[in-house]
Amino acid sequence: MAKITTATLLKMKQQGEKITMLTAYDASFAKLFADSGVETLLVGDSLGMVLQGQPDTLPVTVEQIAYHTRCVRAGAPQAFIIADMPFMSYATMEQAFANVTPMMQAGANMVKMEGGEFLLPTIKALTERGVPVCGHIGLTPQSVHVFGGFKVQGRDDAAAEHILQQAIALEQAGCQLLVVECIPSLLAERISLALRIPVIGIGAGVVTDGQVLVMHDLLGISSGYIPKFSKNFLQETGDIKKAISKFVADVKSAAFPGPEHSF
Contact 243, 218 (CB under 8 A): yes
Could you give the residue numbers annotated as active site? Answer: 181
Band (pLDDT 50/70/90 cuts) for residue 144 is: low
The annotation places the binding site at: 45-46, 84, 112, 114
- What region, left, alpha or beta, does residue 57 occupy, with left being phi > 0 and alpha being psi -120 to 50 degrees? alpha
pLDDT of residue 153: 84
CATH code for the domain of 171: 3.20.20.60
Mean pLDDT value of segment 226-235: 89
Contact 231, 243 (CB under 8 A): no
Q: What is the extent of the structural domain holding 122?
A: 6-261
Half-sphere exposure of 231 (CA within 13 A, CB side): 23
pLDDT digit string, tens, across residues 72-123: 999 999 999 999 999 999 999 999 999 999 999 999 999 999 999 999 999 9
Enumerate the β-bridge partners of residue 121: none
Mean pLDDT value of segment 162-183: 97
Residue 62 lies in a domain: yes
Give the residue among 4, 6, 7, 18 at the shortest CA–CA distance from 192: 18
Give the residue among 22, 88, 53 at the shortest CA–CA distance from 250: 22
d(CA 179, CA 19): 12
Residue 1 lies in a domain: no
Mean pLDDT value of segment 113-134: 96
pLDDT of residue 140: 80
Q: What are phi and psi of 179, to 5 degrees?
A: -100, 130
pLDDT of 142 > 80? The answer is: no
Domains contained in the chain, number: 1
